[in-house]
Every structure is written in structure tokens, then in C-alpha cells.
């Protein structure tokens, strides 16, 4: 009897040891697809479609899935609270997010559709920190934590301020965590125009392969995306998993993993730029005094929908740069100048503009509200209305360097180079170490043919903000025009690796 009991106990222990680590009931997931942002020109097609396909696949793989579409901040917080409440010790907890993401203070934030972001502090107020989410999931006892983030998109918020870099930041995650971004760190990509993102297309192919570990699945996904995009999009993976986990466990023979799956794909071109300056390095020599006078005004250029404008700028000898202050916002993805034959009519139903109109009706002398509405008009291509609001904001506050810089950019885009030059010079007189205005003035100089002055401005801007992509690309063009073909090509290649659409942006400004 004793022998039989011991044998039975031995078998039970053996069965427990060989049982799968994670039962189907221990798998919980939150899937979010945010596509309809009032600040964007049009809703995105991909996030909702991708969210549904990912949710369906996870359900087939035994996950209990909560799916959210076009979630507000409150809806996202409630959904995460529900996810936290489902987690048991040892559970697998997965988050999939598709929408806009922004990095701030070296953290990545998922952005709700109702976020009101005008300065960087608003990102931390309205966004949901990925690190905070993973930390909370870990504190609930999840054994495996997975985050799949398709948010390395160009968005309508980031160019309103410049202290944050494009794309997403690396995650400091607890052990037992697997994180994948759809693109490399600090890089932004554009949608491929299809109904589904390239990242999700490749991810779904690999998730459906049985018995691959999660790390193998994501490795193969990275290889697939890198190949399909010809290395223009290279997903980023971070893993601290301590045990094997498979999305789709199977009973058949384990499929062989292509050798390429374990090969690190080519990384984006390294930036030749120095690291961000320390406080002791912020004082930068002023740009060289303008040599030749500004040429006569050029005719207005037709703008073919700049993807995300960065303030343009004139050139003039300035006092030595001073520390960077609040970064100047800049409109994002403005349509062509002629795209809005009647801006008042085309924008009448825009909820953000309606809200600002109501507030300005109650307080017409609010310079900050005028500035915000000017930004919004500029982002939608309603340039005359934007200039009118910037005019009013500057009249109320002549020292508003951000309004001066943004008016400089709008005037540059529409061809008023002399007016743009005056605005940027005034912004830089008030704040000599203003990287955005140096970048803007560099564009004005480049567009007007004052190449040496453009090079001096872009150099000064990059010393203050080494990741200012528009200055890097502009410096590349200026170097090439000055005969430094190899150095210019390197700048241009690095800028394109950081933002594949930067060349189109410059073409839309009338600069090739």
C-alpha cells in the first residue's frame, strides 16, 4: 500500500513538472486600435483592422482578449485596470497597441484619441506610459509580459515641440518581459497605404507557426519586415524572458527555423552626430555672420503637402546662442497650399477648431489660444488663416518666440522669404540659442540660395539638438551644394534612416 501511494505521488509530481507552463486560462490580452484622432487630417485605416486581426488570432491561441477601438484616455485606463484585475500569479499578459506613440523623458507613451497635446508636458499628462503599464502588470504577478507596439508613426503632435525625438524610446522593463516595436528606436515610419501595416502582416504569419517560442516568432517577424521594406523598417526587440513561451503550441514536429531568423538584420545607418550636449556644452558659438545680403524675394512656391513641417528660418548674424527654451511647435502634415479653396468651409466642422473658436469668442485677447489655432490652421494647410492668428498673437505678445518661429515657417512655405527672415531673426534676437529658429532660418537660406549661411545655421541647430532631422537633411543638401559631396550624402542618408519621408518634406518646401 505504501509503495503504491509513493508511486502515485511520483507520477503526479512528474506530470506536474512536464505540464505546459501556461494554461489557456492563464493568458490575458488587451488589444487597442486607435485610428481617429481629431488633430490628424484623416482617420488611419490600419490600426482598427490590425487590432481585430490580432485579437482574433490571440483568441485562437487561448487568450482572453479585451479589444478597444478609438479609445479615449478614460477608456484606456479602464481597460488596463480590467487587464490588471484578470492577472493571476504566473499568467501570460499581453498588450497590443496600434495608434500614435510619443517618447518623452526617455519613456514611450501610448496616446488616446482625445489627448490634448500642445507641449511636451501634455504627453505625460494624457499619454499612458508603456513602462508604467509593464511595471503594474509585473506587480500583479504575471510570469510572462509581452508588449507589441505598432506606434512608430509620424503623428500630428510631435512637431508642436522639439524636445522629444521621433519614434519610441527603449523600455526599462521587469524581468520576464518581451517587447517589440514596429520600427527602430527613435525612428518614424509612414503607413504603407494598405489596409494592414507591414508589421502586423508579418507578425500574423509567424504567430500562426506552431511551437515557435515567442522570441523566435518575433525574430522571424523582424526579418520579414526588414526584407519586405528593403531595410527601411527594422523592428526593435527587447527580451528578458526566463522561460519558453509559444503563442501557438502544437503537437506536430517542431518546424525548422530559417537560419536567417537568428541573424540580426541590418541596423539603420549610424548617426554621425555627436551626443546631445550636456548643460556645460550648451553655449555654442554663434552662427557665422551672414555674408551676402538676402536675394530678392522668390516667387511663392506651390506646396505639395509637407508631411510634417519644421519651422523654417532666415539668416542673420546673431548674438551668441543662449540655452534652449521651450521648443517651438510646428504644424504636421499640412496639405497643399491650394488644397483648401475655402478653408473656412473646409474647417467648419473640425472639433478642435470649433473648441478653440468657442474659447476665443469668450476671450478674444488670449494670445495662447490664438497661437494654438494658428498652429492648427497651418497643420491643415490654411496658411492665410494661420498667419492671421500668428499676427494677432504676436501683436498681443511681441516676445512670443514660438509664434514668430511658426509664422516664419508658414511664410517660408508660401514663398514670403523676406517676411520669414524678419520673423526668424526677431525670434533669435529674443532667444539666441533657439534651435528651431536656427533650423527654420537654415531652410530660408537654403531656399534662397544663401548656402553658406544655411550651413552655419544647420550646424548651430545640430549642436543644440543633434537629432533635429530637418537640420541634418538640410545640412546634407547645403554641404553638397558647397562641394562636400561625400559628407552631404552621409548626412542625407542618416536623416533618411531616421525619417524616410524627410526628402519629400523638403521637396514640398520647394527645396530639392
pLDDT in tens, 62-73: 999 999 999 999
Identify the weakest region by mean pLDDT among 51-60, 74-83, 150-159, 441-450.
Answer: 150-159
- 123-128 average pLDDT score: 92
pLDDT band for 243, please (50, 70, 90 cuts).
confident
* Average pLDDT in the chain: 77
Q: 436 versus 133: which is more confidently predicted?
A: 133
For residue 209, is pLDDT > 50?
A: yes
Coil/strand/helix, residue 239: strand
* Residues 466-493 pLDDT 10s: 878 889 999 999 999 999 999 999 999 9
Residue 161 pLDDT grade (very low, low, confident, very high; cuts 50, 70, 90): low
DSSP state of 265: P
Helices (H), 157-209: 198-207
11: its cell numbers: 507520477
Distance CA 328, CA 433 (A): 12
Give 456's DSSP letter.
Answer: H
pLDDT of residue 444: 94
Other Cβ atoms less than 10 A from the Cβ of 8: the count is 10
Which DSSP symbol is given to 337?
Answer: G
Least confident of 6-15, 193-202, 253-262, 495-504: 253-262
> pTM for this structure?
0.53
Please state the rounded mean pLDDT for residues 346-372. 81
User: E-strand spans in 11-127?
Assistant: 27-33, 64-69, 92-98, 101-104, 107-110
pLDDT higher than threshold 90 for residue 323 = no
How far apart (Å, rounded) are the C-alpha atoms in residues 149 and 152?
A: 8
Per-residue pLDDT at 259 exceeds 80:
no
Report percent pLDDT > 90 for the chain.
46
- Contact at 8 Å (CB) between 154 and 501? yes
Residue 460 contacts residue 453 (beta carbons within 8 Å) = no
User: Pick from 166, 175, 100, 169: which is nearest to 134 by CA?
Assistant: 175
pLDDT of residue 173: 83
What pLDDT sits at residue 306?
A: 34
Residues in CB range of 187: below 8 A, 6 or more apart: 152, 166, 167, 268, 497, 498, 499
- Interatomic CA distance for residues 223 and 58, integer angstroms: 22
Band of pLDDT at residue 149, cut at 50, 70 and 90: very high
pLDDT for position 159: 58
pLDDT range class, residue 91, cuts 50, 70, 90: very high
Task: Name the residue among 53, 69, 71, 50 with its Cα closest to residue 61.
Answer: 53
Which residues are CB-contacts of 102 (< 8 A; sequence separation ≥ 6)?
A: 108, 109, 111, 117, 123, 127, 155, 157, 158, 164
Cell numbers placing 163:
524636445
Look-up of cell digits 511636451: 120
443-472 pLDDT per residue, tens:
999 999 999 999 999 999 999 888 788 899
| Beta pairing partners, 65 | 29
Q: What is the pLDDT of residue 172?
A: 83
Residues forming a β-bridge with 33: 69, 98
Using the predicted structure, report yes or no on whether residue 345 has a pLDDT greater than 90.
Answer: no
User: Are 308 and 508 contacting, i.e. CB atoms less than 8 angstroms apart?
Assistant: no
Greater confidence (17 vs 201) lies with 201
16 DSSP β-pair partners: none
The percentage of the chain sitting over the pLDDT mark of 70, rounded to a whole number, equals 73
Which of 436, 434, 453, 437 minimizes the C-alpha distance to 445? Answer: 453
What domains does the chain contain, in order, with CATH numbers? Answer: 21-262 (3.40.50.1460), 279-508 (1.25.40.10)
What is the pLDDT, as a whole number, of residue 291? 36
Query: Where are any strands of DSSP class E within 376-470?
Result: none
Res. 376 pLDDT band, cuts 50 70 90: confident
Q: Find the range with the poorest average confidence among 84-88, 293-297, 469-473, 483-487.
A: 293-297
Amino acid at each position: 500500500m505504501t509503495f503504491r501511494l509513493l508511486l502515485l505521488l511520483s507520477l503526479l509530481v512528474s506530470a506536474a513538472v512536464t505540464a505546459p507552463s501556461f494554461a489557456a486560462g492563464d493568458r490575458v490580452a488587451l488589444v487597442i486600435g486607435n485610428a481617429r484622432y481629431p488633430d490628424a487630417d484623416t482617420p488611419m485605416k490600419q490600426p482598427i483592422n490590425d487590432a481585430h486581426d490580432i485579437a482574433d488570432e490571440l483568441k485562437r491561441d487561448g487568450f482572453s482578449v479585451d479589444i478597444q477601438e478609438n479609445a479615449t484616455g478614460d477608456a484606456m485606463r479602464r481597460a488596463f485596470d480590467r487587464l490588471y484585475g484578470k492577472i493571476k500569479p504566473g499568467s501570460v499578459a499581453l498588450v497590443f497597441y496600434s495608434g500614435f506613440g510619443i517618447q518623452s523623458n526617455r519613456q514611450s507613451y501610448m496616446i488616446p484619441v482625445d489627448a490634448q497635446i500642445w507641449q511636451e508636458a501634455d504627453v505625460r499628462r494624457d499619454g499612458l506610459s508603456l513602462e508604467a503599464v509593464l511595471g503594474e502588470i509585473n506587480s500583479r504577478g504575471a510570469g510572462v509580459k509581452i508588449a507589441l507596439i505598432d506606434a512608430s508613426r509620424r503623428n500630428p503632435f510631435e512637431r508642436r515641440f522639439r524636445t522629444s525625438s521621433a519614434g519610441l524610446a527603449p523600455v526599462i522593463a521587469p524581468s520576464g518581459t518581451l517587447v517589440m516595436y514596429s520600427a527602430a528606436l527613435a525612428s518614424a515610419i509612414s503607413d504603407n497605404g494598405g489596409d494592414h501595416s507591414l508589421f502586423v502582416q508579418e507578425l500574423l504569419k509567424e504567430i500562426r507557426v506552431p511551437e515557435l517560442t515567442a522570441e523566435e516568432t518575433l525574430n522571424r517577424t523582424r526579418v520579414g519586415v526588414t526584407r519586405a521594406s528593403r531595410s527601411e523598417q527594422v523592428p526593435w526587440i527587447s527580451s528578458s524572458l526566463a522561460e519558453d513561451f509559444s503563442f501557438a503550441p502544437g503537437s506536430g514536429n517542431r518546424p525548422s527555423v530559417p537560419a536567417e531568423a537568428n541573424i540580426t538584420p541590418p541596423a539603420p545607418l549610424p548617426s554621425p552626430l555627436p551626443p546631445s550636449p550636456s548643460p556645460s556644452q550648451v553655449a555654442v558659438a554663434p552662427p557665422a555672420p551672414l555674408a551676402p545680403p538676402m536675394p530678392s524675394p522668390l516667387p511663392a512656391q506651390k506646396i505639395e503637402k509637407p508631411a510634417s513641417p519644421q519651422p523654417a528660418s532666415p539668416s542673420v548674424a546673431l548674438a551668441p546662442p543662449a540655452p534652449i527654451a521651450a521648443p517651438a511647435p510646428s504644424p504636421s502634415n499640412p496639405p497643399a497650399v491650394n488644397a483648401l479653396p475655402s478653408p473656412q468651409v473646409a474647417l467648419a466642422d473640425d472639433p478642435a477648431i470649433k473648441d478653440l473658436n468657442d474659447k476665443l469668442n469668450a476671450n478674444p485677447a488670449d494670445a495662447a489660444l490664438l497661437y494654438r489655432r494658428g498652429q492648427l490652421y497651418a497643420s491643415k494647410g490654411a496658411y492665410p488663416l494661420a498667419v492671421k492668428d500668428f499676427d494677432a498673437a504676436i501683436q498681443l505678445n511681441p516676445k512670443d518666440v514660438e509664434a514668430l518661429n511658426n509664422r516664419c515657417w508658414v511664410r517660408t512655405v508660401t514663398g514670403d522669404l523676406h517676411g520669414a527672415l524678419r520673423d526668424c531673426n526677431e525670434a533669435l534676437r529674443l532667444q539666441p540659442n533657439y534651435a528651431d529658429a536656427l533650423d527654420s532660418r537654415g531652410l530660408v537660406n537654403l531656399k534662397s540660395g544663401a548656402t553658406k549661411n544655411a550651413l552655419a545655421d544647420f550646424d548651430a541647430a545640430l549642436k543644440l539638438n543633434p537629432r533635429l532631422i530637418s537640420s541634418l537633411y538640410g545640412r546634407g543638401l547645403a554641404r553638397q551644394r558647397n562641394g562636400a559631396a561625400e559628407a552631404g550624402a552621409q548626412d542625407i542618408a542618416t536623416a533618411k534612416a531616421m525619417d524616410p519621408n524627410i526628402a519629400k518634406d523638403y521637396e514640398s518646401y520647394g527645396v530639392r
